[in-house]
Structure 1
Amino acid sequence: MATLQKIRNRAGLLIIVVGVALLAFIIGDGLRSGSSILQNNKNVALNIDGEKVKFEDYQQLLSDRTEQYEQQGKLTERDRVEIGNQLAQELIAIHAIEQEAETIGLKVTPAEVSALVFGEGLPASPLAIQFFSQIGAGDPQQIRQLLNQLDINNIKTLPADQQGMMLKVRSKWIETEKQIHTQRLSEKLNALLTRSYAINSLDEKYTTGLGSRTVAVVRTPSTILPNDQITVTDQQVKEYYESHKQAYAIPYEQAKVNYFSVQIRPSEADYAKAKADVDSARIQLLAATDPAKVVRNYDNGNAYEMYFTDQDLEQYLATIPNAMTLLREGAIGSVNEPVIVNDSYKLIKLVDRKQAPEGVKVNVIALDSINAPKADSLIAAIQSGTATVAQVAATYSMDERTKANGGYVVIPDNYTGMPDSTLSESQLFGMGLDTLVNTPINQFVKIEAPSGTILARRTEPTASVNHYKIAELTVPVTFSEKTFQAAHTKVNEIFLSEKSFDQMLDDAQAAGLSVIRGEYINSTMPELATVPNSREVVRWAFNSKANKVSDKIFNCGSNDYLVVAQVEKKYPAGYLPLEQVSDRVRDIVLMEQRGDKLASTLAGKQLKSLESYATEMQSSVDTLYNISFVTSPSTPSALVGKAMTTTIGQLSAPFRAGTEVVVVQPISENVDATVTQPSPAATAQKRRSYGQQMAGRALEELFRQTSFKDTRYRVL
Structure 2
Amino acid sequence: MSIINSIRNKSGLLLIVIGVAMLAFILGDLFSRNFLSQGNERIVGEIAGDEIPFEEFSREFDEFRQNYEMNIGRALTEQELPGIRQQAWNQLVFKKAYFKEFEKLGLEVTDEEMIDMIQGNNIDASWASLFTNPETGEIDRNNIRSFLQNIESVPPQSQAFYINFERNLRPNRLRAKYENMLAETYYATDAEAKKEYEAQNSKADVRYAYVPYSTIADSAVSVSESEMRDYYNNHKKEFDSEATISLEYVTFPITPSDIDIEEIKEELEDLKTPFANTQNDTAFTAANSETNNNFIVAKPNNLPQGLNIGDFEKGKVFGPVKDGDFYKLYKVLDITDDSVAYAKARHILIKATDENRADAKAKATKILNDIKGGADFAQMAAANGEDGTKSRGGDLGWFDENTMVEPFSKAVMNAKSTGLLPNLVETEFGYHIIGVTHTKVYDNYTLAVIEKEIAASDDTRSEVYRRTGAFAVDRTKENFISASEADSSLIRYQALNINKNSRSINNIYDPGVRTIITWAFREAEVGDVSETLELEDQFVIALLTEKTEDGVSSFESVKNSIEQKLAKEKKKEQILAKMKGLSGTLDQIKDGYGSGATIGQATAISLNTTSLPSVGFAPKAIGEIFKLETGQTSEPIADENGVLVVEIDQMDKASEIAEYSLYKNQIESKYGNINQVSAKIAQAMNEFAEVENEIYKYY
TM bin (shorter chain): 0.5 to 0.7
Q: Which residue of 2 aligns with 1:676?
A: 657
Q: Structure 1 pair 351/611, CA: closer, same or farther in 2 (3 Å)?
A: farther
Give the Cα separation in 2 of the matches to 1:126 and 1:236. 60
User: Partner of 1:59 in structure 2?
Assistant: 58
For residue 604 of structure 2, what is the aligned residue in structure 1?
A: 626
Residues 1:263 and 2:253 aligned together: yes
Structure 1 residues 60 and 500: alpha-carbon distance in aligned structure 2, compared to 1, 3 A threshold? closer
Which residue is equivalent to 2:452?
A: 475
Q: CA deviation at 1:537?
A: 2.0
| Mapped pair 1:505 → 2:481 | yes
Deviates more, 1:484-493 or 1:628-637: 628-637
SS of residue matched to 2:647: strand
Distance 1:194 1:255, change over 3 A: same
Cα distance, 1:670 vs. partner?
1.7
Counterpart AA for 2:477: F
For residue 217 of structure 2, the aligned residue among 216, 226, 239 is 226
Structure 2 CA distance, aligned partners of 1:113 and 1:308? 57
Aligned to 1:272: 262
Task: Please list the CA deviations of residues 206-251 of structure 1 after superposition, one character each: whole Å capped at 9, or x if unmatched.
Answer: 3543512111134454322211112234454455555555555456
Give the TM-score normalised by the residue count of structure 2.
Answer: 0.65
2:472 pairs, out of 488, 495, 499, with 495
User: What does residue range 562-581 of structure 1 map to in structure 2 within 5 Å?
Assistant: 562-568=539-545, 570-581=547-558
Structure label with greater radius of gyration: 2
Q: Deviations over 1:389-424 (max 9, x none)?
A: xxxxxxxxxxxxxxxxxxxxxxxxxxxxxxxxxxxx
Residues 439-454 of structure 1: pairs in structure 2 closer than 5 A:
none
Q: Does the aligned pair in 2 maintain the 1:128–1:176 contact within 8 Å?
A: no
Residues 652/150 of structure 1: CA separation in 2 closer, same or farther (3 Å cut): same
Deviation at 1:293, TM superposition (A): 1.9
Equivalence map 1:135-284=2 (5 Å) = 139-143=140-144, 166=156, 173-210=162-199, 211-219=202-210, 221-241=212-232, 245-246=236-237, 248-250=239-241, 254-278=244-268
Q: Distance in 1 between matches of 2:313 and 2:621?
A: 69
Retained in 1: the 8 A contact 2:617–2:640? no
Deviation at 1:115?
A: 3.6
Aligned mates of 2:158, 2:238 — CA distance in 1: 45
1:53 positional shift:
4.1
Aligned partner letter, 1:48: I
1:534 aligned counterpart, secondary structure? helix
Q: Aligned match of 2:639 in 657, 667, 672? A: 657
Report Cα offsets for 1:79-135 as digits up to 9, x if no partner: 4344323432453356544343333333333443444444x32253337747999xx
The match for 1:121 is 121
Tell me, yes or no, if the aligned pair for 1:295 and 1:302 is still in contact at 8 Å: no
Structure 1 residue 71: Cα displacement: 6.2
Residues 127 and 146 (structure 1 numbering): CA distance in 2 closer, same or farther, change over 3 Å?
A: closer
Aligned AA (1:105): G
Q: Distance in 2 between matches of 1:344 and 1:622?
A: 59
Q: Which residues of 2 match residues 589-628 of structure 1 at below 5 A?
A: 589-606=566-583, 608-610=585-587, 612-613=589-590, 616=594, 618=596, 620-628=598-606
Structure 2 equivalent of residue 442 of structure 1: none
Preserved CA contact (<8 Å) 2:41 2:53: no
The 1:551/1:150 distance shift into structure 2, 3 A limit, reads farther
Equivalent in the alignment of 2:292? 301
The normalised TM-score by structure 1 is 0.63
Aligned 8 A contact 1:204 1:678 in 2 = no
Q: Please give the alpha-carbon distance, in whole angstroms, between the structure 1 residues aligned to 2:603 and 2:100.
A: 48
Shift of 1:647: 4.3
Aligned to 2:602, the other structure's residue is in SS state: strand
Contact 2:476/2:527, CA 8 A, preserved across alignment: no
- Confirm whether residue 695 of structure 1 aligns to residue 677 of structure 2: yes
Q: Equivalents in 2 of 1:585, 1:150: separation in Å?
A: 67
- Output the CA distance in 2 between the equivalents of 1:468 and 1:73: 37
Counterpart residue number, 2:692: 709
Q: Does 1:645 align with 2:644?
A: no
Distance 1:568 1:143, change over 3 A: farther
* Aligned-residue offset at 1:264: 2.0
The separation in 2 between residues aligned to 1:692 and 1:507, in whole angstroms, is 59
1:75 aligned partner: 77
- Residue pairs, 1:182-581, within 5 angstroms: 182-210=171-199, 211-219=202-210, 221-241=212-232, 245-246=236-237, 248-250=239-241, 254-278=244-268, 288-296=278-286, 297-303=288-294, 321=305, 340=322, 342-345=324-327, 471-496=448-473, 498=474, 500-509=476-485, 511=487, 512-517=489-494, 519-531=496-508, 532=510, 533-547=512-526, 549-550=528-529, 552-555=531-534, 557-558=535-536, 560-568=537-545, 570-581=547-558
Equivalent in the alignment of 1:435:
none
Once the two structures are superposed, what CA deviation does each residue of 1:166-207 show, in whole Å capped at 9, x if it has no partner? 3x7666555544544444334333332332122234312135
Could you tell me which amino acid in structure 1 is paired with residue 463 of structure 2?
A
Helix, strand or coil at the partner of 1:83: helix
Please tell me whether the aligned partners of residues 579 and 636 of structure 2 are also in contact (alpha carbons under 8 angstroms).
yes
Deviations 1:266-299 (A, max 9, x none): 2233333334445556766565553322321323
Matches within 5 A, 1:15-26: none
One-letter identity of the residue aligned with 1:75: T
Q: What secondary structure sits across from 1:662 in the alignment?
A: strand
How far residue 668 of structure 1 moved from its aligned partner, in angstroms, is 0.9
Alignment-derived partner of residue 667 in structure 2: 686
Which residue does 2:102 correspond to in 1? 101
Q: Contact conserved, 2:609 with 2:622, CA < 8 A, in 1? A: yes
Q: Structure 1 counterpart of 2:604, which letter?
A: N
Deviation (angstroms), 1:265: 2.2
Residue 58 of structure 1 and its aligned partner are, at CA, apart by 2.9
Verify: 1:50 aligned to 2:33, yes or no.
Answer: no
* Separation in structure 1 between the aligned mates of residue 503 and residue 544 of structure 2, nearest angstrom: 17
Matched-pair contact (CA < 8 Å) for 2:298–2:447: no
Q: Distance in 2 between matches of 1:322 and 1:477?
A: 17
Determine if contact 2:330/2:449 at 8 Å carries over to the other structure: yes
| Displacement after TM superposition at 1:645 (Å) | 2.3
Whether contact under 8 Å (1:545, 1:570) holds in the other structure is: no
- In 1, the alpha carbon distance for the partners of 2:337 and 2:233 equals 71
The offset of 1:145, in angstroms, is: 5.6
Cα distance in 2 for partners of 1:233, 1:487 equals 51
**Change in 2 beyond 3 A, CA 1:652/1:52:** same
Q: CA RMSD in A?
A: 4.8
> For each residue in 1:354-410, what CA deviation from the matched residue of structure 2 results, as whole angstroms up to 9, or x when unmatched?
999xxxxxxxxxxxxxxxxxxxxxxxxxxxxxxxxxxxxxxxxxxxxxxxxxxxxxx
Shift of 1:513: 2.6
Identical aligned residues as a percent: 17
1:256–1:682: structure 2 CA closer, same or farther, 3 Å change rule?
A: closer
Partners in 1 of 2:210 and 2:186 — Cα distance?
38
Corresponding residue SS for 1:209: helix
From the superposition, tell whether residues 207 and 528 of structure 1 become closer, same or farther in structure 2 (CA, over 3 Å): closer
